[in-house]
Amino acid sequence: MSSAIRGLGAGQGETGVDTVPAYAPALGIVHIDGRDRGQLPRVIGGGPGQTAGTPMSSPTAAPTSPATAASHVDVLIVGAGLSGIGAARHLQKGHPGRSFALLEGRAASGGTWDLFRYPGIRSDSDLSTFAYDFKPWTGEKAIADGGDILAYIREAASETGVDQHIRYDHRVTSASFSTADARWTVRVQHAGEELELTCSWLFCASGYYRYDEGFSPTFQGAEDFAGEIIHPQLWPEDFDAEGKEIVVVGSGATAVTLVPALAKQGAHVTMLQRSPSYVLPLPSTDPIGDRFRKWFGDSRGHRLTRQKNIEQQRLLYAFCQKFPGQARKWIRGINKKFLPDHIDVDVHFNPKYDPWDQRLCAVPHGDLFRAFQKRQADIVTDGIERFTEKGILTASGKEIPADVIVTATGLNMLLFGGLELDVDGEPVQIPETLAYKGFMGSGVPNFSFAIGYTNSSWTLKIDLVCKYLNRVLTQMDEGGYAIAVPVNDDAHVETRPLMDFKAGYVLRALDKMPKQGPSAPWHLAMSYREDEKHLRKAKVDDGVLRFVRKGAPLPTSHPAPAISAAPPEDAPAPTDAGTEAVAA
């Protein structure tokens, strides 16, 4: 009998950050309080595909493209997600005279927060750090629902007028830089046609994963399964969980979010994981942050809470990295306290890796543990032998019955929205570039990208990068330069993978990413405090970022040599089935 497979292979996979939640607030007061306080006021709608139980706001009318769409802009931003909209706002503030446009491949803004609609979708980060620095988060929840985050992003776009610059259904496919003209020619798919635009600066804010395809390992026997198989990426609008036996395959942030959310909707859920992740209960509110806002107002309160939480995240990360044994013990102790007796902490919550070497999942007010306590959910740690007509046969021979199988099995990484770049006709080989301050590539002129942190809130990095770009543009204005390009003078520079993070989705894509060098500015800092030094305080004219006048030749930059620093010893093979996968 064939199964109804929805989402498999067609949607994106599970989240990278999904398995890499940026860590959250008020760690000193880990507790389960069971409260679920109010929502943010809704401003702009959530778009189609609203999932029951997910408080997405109602859709706005289909967004329209600006009436007068210029064919040349000073800065062209690819993507109208959190990063693209933030980049546009920073540019608008720093360089009000510069023209800009955002090209968005989809029909709606918000990126990740518009796309993912599974029950319970929420941030892992606290919103004081995940929100922009220019727009205070005023919601009561510190770990917020997806719909509220989407509303916040769209509110940021509409109240600043950035939304007027978004051109929807414009998918950028390639871009060519001409040194003589000091501009990019960008090719775009729109309404079945190819358009060409030009810009002086290209900013790629296209996220980090494929929107058209997720990561799904092949499960033997999937076609025999009589029930429904759903990928969280393409959650069916009309899905009714009530009374169903559901198996969620995975152990990352999406799995730990889905299990209690589906249980709350009346299903009995089994979380089936190949190997455990670290899971920490956290309060979903931030009482100290609330007090800061009350005492100092929204803006100052936001700034103070942000600083407080940046410091907490830094301390937690540093503690885990420096004292992995103690961190492991500490997390185990918390898990043990919140788990019911029938769930063995040393079987199901005892990861093979050290805390923060891979995933560390937050569960707001311990909802996952509460679902276990109420026996609405169960957990099995085992491999998958095959799907059967009635459920899943595990490697150890146990059959788990299922009406529905949810494959929370990972994403496929895609950098720069799949754009093909060339400079004066020479194709840019991305793996031969070195990442400059984590936002430009060696030898690629007037091009920047938005890649946030994997161990902390994405937006913290994006805010820093966008402000730094403003300083680069100011330097160009003041010196009368047309081009800025990071140049690698050392043909034998020691290179390392861009990310030392050992998650499967990162390892699968390492050979397609830029590399990093041994030290600044070629080093990708995964630390806000470190980046503050290099992006906020450091001189823009550092001798590595070269400024060129129009008509002058482009300085030669050596390609990054093959990776010379050894990969981490315990890194899984790049073919690993993914951070959330429980492959056979």
Contact range with ligand FAD by CB under 6 A, out of 11-19, 214-222, 223-231, 487-495: 11-19
Please name the residue ranges forming H helices in 339-490: 345-348, 367-373, 458-479
Does 22 help bind ligand FAD (rule: CB under 6 A)? Answer: yes
Q: Are 418 and 172 a contacting pair, CB within 8 Å?
A: no
- The nearest distance, CB 185 to ligand FAD, in angstroms, is 15
Rounded (10°) angle between helices 82-94 and 458-479 = 30
Nearer to ligand FAD, 165 or 546 (CB): 165
Residue in 117, 141, 165, 171 binding ligand FAD, rule: CB under 6 A: 171
Nearer to ligand FAD, 132 or 387 (CB): 132
Query: Rounded to an integer, what distance in angstroms lies between the CA atom of residue 47 and that of residue 61?
Result: 8
Two tokens, residue 580: 């959330």
Nearer to ligand FAD, 201 or 547 (CB): 201
Does 84 help bind ligand FAD (rule: CB under 6 A)? Answer: yes
Within positions 94 to 123, which residues make up the interface with ligand FAD, using CB under 6 A? Answer: 103-106, 111-112, 116, 123
Nearer to ligand FAD, 343 or 408 (CB): 408
Nearer to ligand FAD, 387 or 416 (CB): 416
Query: Rounded to an integer, what distance in angstroms lies between the CA atom of residue 341 and that of residue 289?
Result: 35
Number of residues interacting with ligand FAD: please give it, by CB under 6 A.
36
Does 382 help bind ligand FAD (rule: CB under 6 A)? Answer: no
> Nearest-CA neighbor of 13 among 513, 493, 478, 413?
413
Query: Rounded to an integer, what distance in angstroms lies between the CA atom of residue 554 and that of residue 483?
Result: 8
Does 78 help bind ligand FAD (rule: CB under 6 A)? Answer: yes
How remote is the C-alpha of 214 from its chain's centroid?
A: 14
The total number of residues written for the chain in this structure: 584
Does 7 help bind ligand FAD (rule: CB under 6 A)? Answer: no
Two tokens, residue 299: 């803006």
- The nearest distance, CB 79 to ligand FAD, in angstroms, is 3
Does 54 help bind ligand FAD (rule: CB under 6 A)? Answer: no
Q: Are 527 and 314 a contacting pair, CB within 8 Å?
A: yes
Does 250 help bind ligand FAD (rule: CB under 6 A)? Answer: no
Contact range with ligand FAD by CB under 6 A, out of 14-22, 283-291, 307-315, 342-350: 14-22
Two tokens, residue 549: 């006048």
Report the Cα–Cα distance between both ends of the chain, in Å, rounded. 21
Query: Rounded to an integer, what distance in angstroms lies between the CA atom of residue 433 and that of residue 411?
Result: 24
Nearer to ligand FAD, 17 or 393 (CB): 17
Query: Rounded to an integer, what distance in angstroms lies between the CA atom of residue 524 and that of residue 528?
Result: 11
- The nearest distance, CB 465 to ligand FAD, in angstroms, is 11
Residue in 44, 56, 77, 80 binding ligand FAD, rule: CB under 6 A: 80
Q: Are 276 and 354 a contacting pair, CB within 8 Å?
A: no
Q: What are phi and psi of 309, to 5 degrees?
A: -75, -30
Rg of the chain taking only CA atoms, in angstroms: 23
Does 15 help bind ligand FAD (rule: CB under 6 A)? Answer: yes
Binding-site string for ligand FAD from residue 210 to residue 229, where x marks contact by CB under 6 A and - marks none: -x------------------
Nearer to ligand FAD, 124 or 145 (CB): 124
Please name the residue ranges forming H helices in 437-514: 458-479, 504-509
Residue 393 to residues 28, 320, 330, 384, 386, Cα–Cα distance (Å): 41, 36, 34, 6, 5
Does 531 help bind ligand FAD (rule: CB under 6 A)? Answer: no
Does 83 help bind ligand FAD (rule: CB under 6 A)? Answer: yes
Residue in 450, 487, 507, 524 binding ligand FAD, rule: CB under 6 A: 450
Does 449 help bind ligand FAD (rule: CB under 6 A)? Answer: no
Contact range with ligand FAD by CB under 6 A, out of 73-81, 483-491, 494-502, 519-527: 73-81
Nearer to ligand FAD, 400 or 499 (CB): 499
Nearer to ligand FAD, 252 or 517 (CB): 252
Place of tokens 């988060």: 137
Side-chain half-sphere exposure of 274, counting CA atoms within 13 A:
17
Binding-site ranges for ligand FAD (CB under 6 A): 15, 17-18, 21-22, 78-84, 103-106, 111-112, 116, 123-125, 130, 171-172, 205-207, 211, 417-419, 450, 452, 457-458
